[in-house]
Amino acid sequence: MLDPIRSTRAVQPAPSLFATDGVRPVRRDVSPFRHEQQRRLAAVGLLLGGVLAASSAFAQTAPDPDWTTADMPSQAGRIFVVTGGTSGMGYEDARALAAAGAEVVIAARNPQRGDEAIGRIRAEVPDARVRFEAVDLADLSSVRAFGQRLGATLPRVDGLINNAAIMAPPERGTSVDGFELQFATNYAGHFVLTAELLPLLRRSEAPRVVTLSSVAIHRGGINFDDLQSTVSYQPMIAYAQSKTACLMFALELQRRSDANGWGIQSMAAHPGVAVTELVARGPGLESEQGRQWSAMREHLQTAAQGAVPTLYAATAPEARGGQYYGPTGPNEVSGPLGLATVPASASDPAAAARLWTLTEDLTGTRFR
């Protein structure tokens, strides 16, 4: 049986704001060391995200802050697709869902890493129903071929977790289709994948789509005048824009599901700042972000803890469409599970509808 994962942890040897007694988090006294730790964690959050300011048009229903993977109901008989499931939070999503009895399709670029991920999962969950499918989210022909393969082999999809991402490559890159690489991989590829899987999702009795955003969204919104960062490429600003687009997509998908009777619950989640490969494979460990991240690495969330908001959104009966889940500590870098802050730039329905229509035109995709 897998150990339940909370969205916070006690860090050793440094004192933690929340200690665990095996049942629920217990508040500790905050020491001068902890004040310094909080200051540095806040600095990481500000570096990634800036100052948080909330705005949301959806009714807010806060989750249990102590929810863990032990609270996840059985997922037997349900089918999930997880992008980027070979490492990081995506792997933890796939692992936890498989342990709960779900059938899981891990979608990523590298078949070797897919085989390794499946091997690790089956070492813990011998009867896991998990398979790998190759897809390159930066190549829309690959995304459509993947959707067609699933349409031919699956009876339905009960949950889609749009998790895969790249972050802040130092030089501007472009996708096969000519889009800025972060816009393509993090947002446009998932937009098209969701459209491709819409018929399978609508066959489910209770379909859910969970799209990953980031604390970085507080660094800016959507620049409709330079959506592909051709005039000016700033790595973290482009990343923030792609993740803002993901959040806007998740909220707009819920509005359109409600309007069209698709029956989908669409939610967004973010992990705070977690220890994954994202920094090393993006800006690099020698970058400003990398140095900040490395200095606080032992005090950041694990990938398993970072996955808690996503798993809550994907499986908890209390989770609701149109919500944004994440940690609730300082600058949402870590902390107990709760409602994440939706910036004003992501909560404007008119801007979300504009982005949706523009993305349909750019990708040649329609939701039907």
Is 145's pLDDT higher than 60?
yes
Judged by average pLDDT, the poorest of 34-48, 51-65, 97-111 is 34-48
Is 310's pLDDT higher than 50?
yes
Percent of the chain with pLDDT over 70: 77
Return the bridge partners of 118, or none: none
| CATH code of the domain made up of 18-363 | 3.40.50.720
Separation CA 265–CA 143 (nearest Å): 22
Would you give the distance in Å from CA 167 to the centre of its chain?
A: 13
Separation CA 176–CA 137 (nearest Å): 10
Separation CA 199–CA 187 (nearest Å): 20
* Tokens linked to 265: 């619950």
Is 41's pLDDT higher than 50?
no
SS3 74: coil
| pLDDT at residue 188 in the model | 98
| pLDDT at residue 50 in the model | 53
What's the average model confidence in pLDDT over 248-264? Answer: 98
- Provide CB contacts within 8 A for 11, sequence distance 6+: 298, 299
Under 8 Å between Cβ of 321 and 266: yes
DSSP strands (E only) in the chain: 18-20, 25-27, 79-83, 103-108, 129-134, 159-162, 208-212, 265-269, 324-327, 337-339
What band does 19 get if pLDDT is binned at 50, 70 and 90? very low
Is-catalytic flag, 325?
no
What's the average model confidence in pLDDT over 57-81? Answer: 90
- Among candidate residues 91, 187, 233, 239, the one labeled active-site is 239
Give whichever of 11-25, 219-233, 287-301 has the largest mean pLDDT: 219-233
Supply the DSSP symbol for 274.
B
pTM of the entire predicted model: 0.84
Q: Nearest-CA neighbor of 268 among 229, 332, 320, 216?
A: 320
What band does 140 get if pLDDT is binned at 50, 70 and 90? very high
pLDDT digits (tens, 9 = 90+) for 73-97: 999 999 999 999 999 999 999 999 9
Under 8 Å between Cβ of 96 and 2: yes
